[in-house]
Amino acid sequence: MDVILLEKVANLGGLGDTVKVRAGYGRNYLIPQGKAKPATADNIAYFEAQRAELEKKAADELAAAKARAEKLEGSVVTITANAGEEGKLFGSVGPQDIADALSAAGTEAARHEVRMPDGPIRAIGEFAIQVHLHADVNATVNINVTGEA
């Protein structure tokens, strides 16, 4: 199935690219999410007419993501969790906890933006966490996990 991308999609292409994707991926994810349209003659003509508007929208989203990244970059957030005497947490600190702590600190972040490749935090200490704000923009946030008895 050929689709026209309406925004940058990781590992696939950028705005305006016509790419071949599996039919299920196109029908069930890209098209319903508004990330692509089927590459028919009518849709190609419509896209070319709307290209400038879509490029401006993409540039505005990128600028907003960069502004959020500047606010987030290098910030330190402290999360207090129940812990044993050896520094192991009872439970864990996951993406939702980090997103809530960032929001409480004054910078909005959603759970799906927090990237934790090593899984949830299960110990006391300082950790560098990536916040994925846009396809091209990431910010690093320092999380300080402290324990309470």
How much is the average pLDDT of 15-22? 94
Domains 2-65 and 73-148 share a fold: no
The torsion defined by the Cα of 15, 20, 24 and 28, in degrees rounded to 10, comes to: 10
Structure tokens at 45: 């003509």
- Distances from the Cα of 48 to the Cαs of 7, 25, 36, 81, 94, in angstroms? 14, 24, 14, 53, 43
- Residues 35-57 have pLDDT tens digits of 999 999 999 998 888 888 988 98
Q: Which CATH fold topology does 2-65 show?
A: Ribosomal Protein L9; domain 1 (3.40.5)
Q: CATH assignment of 73-148?
A: 3.10.430.100
- Residues 56-112 have pLDDT tens digits of 988 999 999 999 999 888 889 999 999 988 889 999 999 999 999 999 988 888 999
pLDDT for 7 = 87
Domain boundaries, the chain: 2-65, 73-148
